[in-house]
Structure 1
Amino acid sequence: EKSEIISKVYLSLLPSDLATYGRDAKALLKELQSQNERMFLVTFLVLNTGKTEQELETNVFQAVSIAQKHNCELCRLDFQQEQGLMSSLPLADCQIEIQRGLTTSSTAIFVPFTTQELFDNGKESLYYGLNALSNNLIMVDRKKLKNPNGLILGTPGSGKSFSAKREICNAFLVTDDDIIICDPECEYAPLVERLHGQVIHISPASTQYINPMDINSNYSEEDNPLALKADFVLSLCELVVGGKEGLQPVEKTVIDRCVHVIYRKYFENPTPENMPLLEDLYNALLTQDEPEARHVAAALEIYVKGSLNIFNHHTNVDINNRIVCFDIKQLGKQLKKLGMLIVQDAVWGRVTANRSAGKSTRYYADEFHLLLKEEQTAAYSVEIWKRFRKWGGIPTALTQNVKDLLASPEVSNIFENSDFVYMLNQANGDRQILAKQLNISPHQLSYVTHSGEGEGLLFFGNVILPFVDHFPKDLELYRILTTRLSEVAEAQKHE
């Protein structure tokens, strides 16, 4: 009892910091003995760099300030700068003899064991930026997903088109896939021309033509490709005739009847000259007895004999080039909807032809919200997202707002059938939708909140990763890819 009283007296005489260290030592001993902890000697180095001495001093000051905010002290390695640099390099040679004892839990904080990585070293894996957490490469192959369909989402100026062009470049160089682009804003032509692809300018003043009646023997997985082509022609006529109720049953019947008539000659002798035109459908409708047939023919007349007859010609461009861009910017308001539907059908024809050759086809649709505005093009887009996978197609849509993809239950299937979502900076309302749809945590959402160009989140299968992709601006490829007006004008000056 006497010795206990003496020890308490001595303890009361100890300085407070020494008493604190004593308690900490006891707690540490308890952890080592009963909580399966081990003791590690750790050397923690912070490497500061700067282009100038002033910038370096500023960076050091900022690092010291951040450490002080967290009750830590950074000591400058005076007269040991070279040893500090060599110790920071991945050479497994620590030349600094300053060590701190830490337990297993404390040491583990400095090593990102839990960092998720996306790296596939397959021969067709493409680069999608750096992992923002570990700075490791993100290399993946979309073909290995259950559903390779993709979306690139972001506010204007966040880098959607640039990201799509990056993937197009990589896919062109790494894979043998065919690439088709629907370009409503004439942004992809410089890249496609540099890759010796085919840019098809579709406009009333253009002399490049696409025949909407083109068909191939692989157009449908059924034995009768004409049935699926008739469905497309019905959608085209429905867009032409207009009206809230669309085509009447009798009108659908006579159109279907005429479609079978006008393709008879081609299937008997499948040569390009025998491919029917829109005018053949118009003439066949006029020979029918039903007044509904003449009503549809009257609606078609402006597209056959009138000023909007751009789609009443045989195809005269190379749509079989490995990379094809459909530039529909110059199509007027009356033709744009029709043009987008015809481009989608041309894409479908290419995908079906490639399937029989065992080849994949990548399809990029920029300004995708334009396709979702009309019932016919929206329905066709939904079909593409549902069926392309079986045919070796890899569709990718670029759009600004996620809300457009949830406009109706049918259109929302596009979102649900996409296992690849490349998210750049998002508007507030869109962030909440994405968080709910993809189960994104609040911390992960911070990577698409007021983020810079080429920064965001990648949803790949069931993995969500933050990425950074800062492309060097001094390369010629950057001048080809960029769509920023000032940079495009500067590039044109140099040319």
Structure 2
Amino acid sequence: MHPEKRREERQVSKRKNNSTKKSKKKEEKRLSVQKTIRYKEMGKDGICRVQGNTYSKCIRFYDINYQLAQNEDKNAIFENWCDFLNYFDSSIHFQLSFINHKSNMKEFENVIRIRPQHDEFDDVRMEYAQMLKHQLATGNNGLVKSKYITFSIEAENIKLAKPKLERIESDILNNFKVLGVPAYPLNGVERLQIMYETFNPDASADFQFDYGSMIRTGLSTKDYVAPTSFVFKEGKTFQMGITIGAVSYLQILAPELTDKMLAEFLDMDKDLIVNLHVQSVDQMKAIKLVKSKVTDINRMKIEEQKKAVRSGYDMDIIPSDLNTYGGEAKRLLEDLQSRNERMFLVTALFLNTAKSKQDLENAVFQTAGIAQKYNCVLRRLDYQQEEGLMSSVPLGVNHVPIKRALTTTSTAIFVPFTTQELFMGGESLYYGLNALSNNMIMVDRKKLKNPNGLILGTPGSGKSFAAKREITNAFFVTNDDIIIGDPEGEYYPLVHALGGQVIHISPTSKDYINPMDINMDYSDDDNPLGVKSDFVLSLCELIMGTRNGIEAEEKSVIDRCLPLVYQKYFADPKPENMPVLGDLYDCLRKQKEPQAQRIATALEIYVNGSLKVFNHQTNVELNNRIVCFDIKELGKQLKKLGMLIVQDQVWNRVTINRGSQKSTRYYIDEFHLLLKEEQTAAYSVEIWKRFRKWGGIPTGITQNIKDLLASREIENIFENSDFILMLNQAAGDRQILAKQLNISPYQLSYVTNSGEGEGLLFYGNIIIPFKDKFDKSLKLYSLMTTKPEEVEERKKLEAERK
């Protein structure tokens, strides 16, 4: 072959080799990001083969109220948490991960969004929507906090690992159940999402992945979670994509730790990931290790004593450090041998991330400041940032060799529970900001087992305002009907603004409510008269004013008359055939028994006399979405009767709405008045017991806690109320309520001399302190306030407009 041709071929071959080498280098470079992410396979069921023969699973758990709990409750939680830790033997490594990351605000905005309806209420509707947006911006909801426990074991293959992991998972979930902590295991997609969000904190796109697409594209799970790049050039920081991060470890120097330390780290308003890697030491090995340390210290003591004698000193004069360490080692040995203590090797890692180096340094400085406050030191991992980052992902493997030996009690001091948050989707309503975390509180009472509620507070604490805010919110967000029992005439400005019907019931008013109103769905069974009979008996008891209730003979007479009175209506159910109180009176007069005449005589003043306001057919619009019964002008004699009749009208509405799958919200102000009288109290308890399955949501509002608690029926009311909004309380009432509702002294401080719109929210078994500063410049505020000077101001403005 010609030499020139051979040279040309060699050059072509060389170019090919160079090109192959370059593409190989490119390939290696492309894979380097994936190589950094240290796991082998992520299964669909959430089992991950991390390295070699190590397999892990992950469980997400939620918060319980630990920081706010009573001391005895705290002790119980702490002891259960110690038992939880002692469950893990030396074959299981576990990792507690606490992730605080800034979230896309869109999901929160979607929950609070109120859209215009292009009707006459859009001005107040959009004002309320604007107020919610402002509160979201004021609050801290951009920070999402999540908690995980990841556990890993060694096994020869997945087939052997799976049953072991599932058994451990089941035990952990049961242990969480004992603590009252909601928890659930994560599948493969959920575990990958955590890694995606950790490695791509600034990603605008949501995590998109399914195992089917992986098979089609030929990509691995790492390709979906990896950032654009990892850079570990500097010893004390690293870069992933455009985010700068730093991993530090906690050097525990304090002789005693406090359960507040972890909570304070997690309360930081910064992107932060805290990881506790915990490895249990075999009990026999731990005892052997401590025994050898005690022996070493004793040997050193003897050496020091010999030195002292040789030098002519008292042999008891030895270095104080040896005495201290000797005492500690003996106590530790005693704990391991005779108390329910184990030894754990703990690594506490902190991952701070930020967009700029300056922001990162500030975040690390703030984190270090909290550590210093508790006599610990936060040290940066020098040239181990890659290992630190991979140990900060919930995979269940620790790549950082820095460990601290702690007993069960010392490890348990990192209690992972602080205070619960309440931010729900669906038809959630706004109840203020969490006073501890500043997060918005959005809850749906319908999701409670029993949505019945109470709003309690001293005058001026904002209880009526809180009720009106919930009414307004429910009007804008839900399709529910709203009925208000208003003994003080406080609600009509708001009801008018929302296009509702205000019914003024008084001896001089022309608005009439017929206490004999009934509908065919009035009862669960086919006989609507069954329940109506109870109401009429209560009405007669109240009218007759008998302390011991009406007698059996009198009840029988009334029960006999009712079918006769309703006969015409049941035969032809049209409004004009509805009986009135006078029809019952006439029927009683026709009976021969003296009991019938006695009842009729008691009814006479309400039928033909000066108090005949309730002896008319109903002439007001009761099918409006908001109905307010204003009974302020009824006077003392008629007010109790009026409240009982309003409750019966509410029951009527609830039964009608049940058929159309609609909820009915009922607000009763001055609720203690209803519980004063035996008849109205008994009827109120019936409402509290029966409303739930009929789609009713009653709410009692009162400032007179002593009157409320003096009622024999209050136990039934509290037992059937899963929602309580408690504002500022008087000193005497606080102690009674604390006992009744099991409130800790710390929780009680939130209703002691608290400002308006501040207090405690009870939602099921969750208790959250809240604050609500409503913008006073809004039109809605002027409609909701009950402050005399502000009410006068509103009336003046209304008069000027007219």
**What is the CA deviation profile of residues 145-202 of structure 1, one whole-angstrom value per residue up to 9, with x for unaligned ones?**
0010101011111000000000000000000000000000000000001100000000
Distance 1:422 1:428 in 2: 17
Aligned counterpart in structure 2 of residue 435 of structure 1, from 732, 738, 743? 738
Question: 1:11: which partner in 2?
Answer: none
Is the deviation greater in 96-105 or in 344-353?
Answer: 96-105
Aligned counterpart in structure 2 of residue 373 of structure 1, from 665, 676, 682? 676
Aligned counterpart in structure 1 of residue 582 of structure 2, from 279, 295, 302? 279
Q: How many residues align?
A: 424
Aligned counterpart in structure 2 of residue 36 of structure 1, from 346, 352, 365? 346
Residues 402 and 433, structure 1, Cα contact 8 Å, conserved in 2: no
Residues 458 and 704, structure 2, Cα contact 8 Å, conserved in 1: yes
Q: CA deviation at 1:213?
A: 0.3
- Comparing both structures, which one devotes a greater share of its residues to strand? 2
Alignment of 1:145-156 (within 5 A): 145-156=448-459
Residue 656 of structure 2: SS of its match in structure 1? helix
Question: 2:423: which partner in 1?
Answer: 119
Distance 2:508 2:626 in 1: 23
2:389 equivalent to 1:389:
no
Question: 2:756: which partner in 1?
Answer: 453
Aligned counterpart in structure 1 of residue 701 of structure 2, from 376, 380, 398? 398
Q: CA deviation at 1:37?
A: 4.3
Residue 517 of structure 2: SS of its match in structure 1? coil
Question: 1:187: which partner in 2?
Answer: 490
Residues 516 and 579, structure 2, Cα contact 8 Å, conserved in 1: yes
Residue 302 of structure 1: SS of its match in structure 2? helix
Question: 2:765: which partner in 1?
Answer: 462
2:486 equivalent to 1:222:
no
Distance 1:38 1:351 in 2: 56
Residues 40 and 107, structure 1, Cα contact 8 Å, conserved in 2: no
Task: List gaps (5 residues or longer) in structure 1.
Answer: 5-33, 44-86
| Matching residue's letter, 2:601 | A
Is the deviation greater in 398-407 or in 433-442?
Answer: 398-407
Question: 1:68: which partner in 2?
Answer: none
| Matching residue's letter, 1:94 | Q
Residues 405 and 415, structure 1, Cα contact 8 Å, conserved in 2: no
Aligned counterpart in structure 2 of residue 255 of structure 1, from 558, 565, 574? 558
Q: CA deviation at 1:297?
A: 1.1
Aligned counterpart in structure 1 of residue 608 of structure 2, from 305, 321, 345? 305
Query: Compared with structure 1, are the counterparts of its residues 258 and 463 closer, same or farther at alpha carbon in structure 2 (3 Å cutoff)?
Result: same
Question: 2:595: which partner in 1?
Answer: 292
* TM-score for both structures, normalised by structure 1: 0.80
Distance 2:448 2:671 in 1: 22
2:642 equivalent to 1:345:
no
Query: Compared with structure 1, are the counterparts of its residues 250 and 114 closer, same or farther at alpha carbon in structure 2 (3 Å cutoff)?
Result: closer
Question: 1:80: which partner in 2?
Answer: none
Aligned counterpart in structure 1 of residue 501 of structure 2, from 198, 204, 215? 198
Residue 330 of structure 1: SS of its match in structure 2? helix
Q: CA deviation at 1:433?
A: 2.2
Max radius of gyration: which structure?
2
Distance 1:441 1:245 in 2: 39
Question: 2:313: which partner in 1?
Answer: none
Aligned counterpart in structure 1 of residue 660 of structure 2, from 314, 333, 357? 357
Residue 346 of structure 2: SS of its match in structure 1? coil
Aligned counterpart in structure 1 of residue 567 of structure 2, from 250, 264, 271? 264
Deviating above 6 A after TM superposition, structure 1's stretches of 4 or more consecutive aligned residues are none
**What is the CA deviation profile of residues 428-485 of structure 1, one whole-angstrom value per residue up to 9, with x for unaligned ones?**
2222222222222111111110000000110111111110100000111000000000
Residue 263 of structure 1: SS of its match in structure 2? helix
Residue 331 of structure 1: SS of its match in structure 2? helix
Aligned counterpart in structure 2 of residue 236 of structure 1, from 515, 533, 539? 539
Q: CA deviation at 1:408?
A: 4.3
2:94 equivalent to 1:94:
no
Distance 2:536 2:758 in 1: 42
Question: 2:514: which partner in 1?
Answer: 211
Query: Compared with structure 1, are the counterparts of its residues 384 and 92 closer, same or farther at alpha carbon in structure 2 (3 Å cutoff)?
Result: farther
Q: CA deviation at 1:292?
A: 1.8
Distance 2:552 2:733 in 1: 40
Residue 425 of structure 1: SS of its match in structure 2? coil
| Matching residue's letter, 1:114 | T
Q: CA RMSD in A?
A: 3.0
Is the deviation greater in 225-234 or in 145-154?
Answer: 225-234
Distance 1:370 1:188 in 2: 18
Residues 520 and 528, structure 2, Cα contact 8 Å, conserved in 1: yes
Query: Compared with structure 1, are the counterparts of its residues 93 and 199 closer, same or farther at alpha carbon in structure 2 (3 Å cutoff)?
Result: farther
Residue 211 of structure 1: SS of its match in structure 2? coil
Residue 421 of structure 2: SS of its match in structure 1? coil
Query: Compared with structure 1, are the counterparts of its residues 42 and 360 closer, same or farther at alpha carbon in structure 2 (3 Å cutoff)?
Result: closer
Question: 1:418: which partner in 2?
Answer: 721
Q: CA deviation at 1:126?
A: 0.5
Residues 118 and 139, structure 1, Cα contact 8 Å, conserved in 2: yes
Q: CA deviation at 1:130?
A: 0.4
Q: CA deviation at 1:113?
A: 7.2
| Matching residue's letter, 2:528 | P
Question: 1:407: which partner in 2?
Answer: 710
Question: 1:55: which partner in 2?
Answer: none
Residues 405 and 412, structure 1, Cα contact 8 Å, conserved in 2: no
Query: Compared with structure 1, are the counterparts of its residues 35 and 373 closer, same or farther at alpha carbon in structure 2 (3 Å cutoff)?
Result: same
Query: Compared with structure 1, are the counterparts of its residues 307 and 41 closer, same or farther at alpha carbon in structure 2 (3 Å cutoff)?
Result: closer
Distance 2:356 2:679 in 1: 63
Query: Compared with structure 1, are the counterparts of its residues 355 and 42 closer, same or farther at alpha carbon in structure 2 (3 Å cutoff)?
Result: closer
Question: 2:774: which partner in 1?
Answer: 471
| Matching residue's letter, 1:36 | V
Residues 511 and 619, structure 2, Cα contact 8 Å, conserved in 1: yes
Residues 455 and 467, structure 1, Cα contact 8 Å, conserved in 2: yes
Q: Which protein, 1 or 2, shows the higher relative CO under an 8 Å CA cutoff with sep ≥ 6?
A: 1
Query: Compared with structure 1, are the counterparts of its residues 313 and 107 closer, same or farther at alpha carbon in structure 2 (3 Å cutoff)?
Result: farther
Distance 2:638 2:359 in 1: 71
Aligned counterpart in structure 1 of residue 637 of structure 2, from 302, 309, 334? 334
Query: Compared with structure 1, are the counterparts of its residues 443 and 342 closer, same or farther at alpha carbon in structure 2 (3 Å cutoff)?
Result: same
Residue 396 of structure 1: SS of its match in structure 2? strand
Residue 458 of structure 1: SS of its match in structure 2? strand
Distance 2:665 2:582 in 1: 32
